[in-house]
Each structure stands twice: as C-alpha cells, then as structure tokens.
Amino acid sequence: ARRQREIERDLRAAIADGALMLHYQPQYRLRDHALVGFEALLRWHHPERGMVSPLDFIPLAEESGLIIPIGPWVMATACRQLKKWEAINTRESWQLAVNVSARQFQQPSFVDEVRDIVTATAINPCHLKIELTESLVLDDIERTIHTMQQLKQLGIHFSMDDFGTGQSSLSNLKRLPLAQLKIDQS
C-alpha cells in the first residue's frame, strides 16, 4: 500500500512536470509485412526508479482518476506526431492507434475532447484508430456504440484490444463499428 501511494505521488509529479512520454510501436500488414502505422505506448521514466512498467502505473492511474488528465495529453501528443508523419510523402497513409481507458472513454466530454484535438492538430481523422478493450466495450454496449458512432462520423476508426478475454458475443461484435480485432495473447 505504501509503494502504491509513493507511485501515485510520483505519478502526479510526473504529470505536472511533463515526465511522461510516448513510444511508437510499429504495426505491419501480415500479408506483405508492409509498415502500416504505429501504436502509441505510454511510458514513464522515473528519475530514481528508471523506466516504470506500464503494468505498475496505468492501473494505478485508472484507479486514482489520474488517467483523466493523462488521456487527453496522450491523444494530443499522438495526433501531433501523426500530423508530422502525414507531411512526409512515404508516410501520409500511416495509421496511429491510441489506447483509450474505460474511465476516459466514459467521460461525457470524451467525444468533444477528441474532436477538439483532431481539429487543433489538423490530422486526417481516418488515420487515427482508437483502441478499446473488450471489457470496456461490453460494460455498457449501447452507450459504447453511441460514442463510437459519433467518433466514426468524424472518420476515426476503432480497434478492440485484448479480444477473447471477455464474453463478447458475435451479435454484439457485429453491432460495433470495429475496423480491427486484436486477439489477446493468452
């Protein structure tokens, strides 16, 4: 419990100091191994502990509500990087996937925040893919579909991450505007 409190305290300081960073993991098309884009991964380099595992700080950020200020920063930072790639001829069609937490997605202001970031960064929204976990999607399917439809109208695509860990039925999956399913490694 003490370690958790220390990490939470340090995470608050990291947010305030701008010590979080994004790394970009390449994504390849299976059939021809062509690079099609990247997934933005949140990372934290602690000044004393070094790299803190996302498994240690992301669940804590979710529980404590710190994910609420982190989420828009991640989205905006990722979209600024996407805009840089769009300006390069060989990279203009790359997609960038951004994981969105359940708490962030369920915020009443989420659609407006994403719309504002897309507008401010002037990205092509067709190149942005929001990744949601299967458990988030199933939590309130009607609300999830409504939010996804609003964002899809902007041109944003969706991916379901960790598929196979929940109890998704095919009838529910067919109702979701998903472009991609990412099968859980287990």
Q: Write out the two tokens for 123.
A: 């990205």
Model confidence at 44, in pLDDT bands (50, 70, 90)? very high
Unique residue bearing structure tokens 């992301």 = 58
Contact between 7 and 44 (Cβ < 8 Å) = no
Model confidence at 56, in pLDDT bands (50, 70, 90)? confident
3-state secondary structure the chain: CHHHHHHHHHHHHHHHHCCEEEEEEEEECCCCCCEEEEEEEEEEEECCCEEECHHHHHHHHHHHCCHHHHHHHHHHHHHHHHHHHHCCHHHCCCEEEEECCHHHHCCCCHHHHHHHHHHHHCCCHHHEEEEEEHHHHHHCHHHHHHHHHHHHCCCCEEEEEEECCCCCCHHHHHHCCCCEEEECCC
Residue 91 has pLDDT above 90, yes or no: no
Give the HSE-up count for residue 151: Cα atoms under 13 Å, Cβ half-sphere: 31
Residue 85 has pLDDT above 90, yes or no: yes
pLDDT of residue 161: 76
pLDDT of residue 2: 85
pTM value > 0.85: yes
Per-residue pLDDT reduced to its tens digit, 121-134: 999 999 999 998 87
Which of 91-100, 136-145, 149-158 shows the lowest mean pLDDT across its residues? 136-145
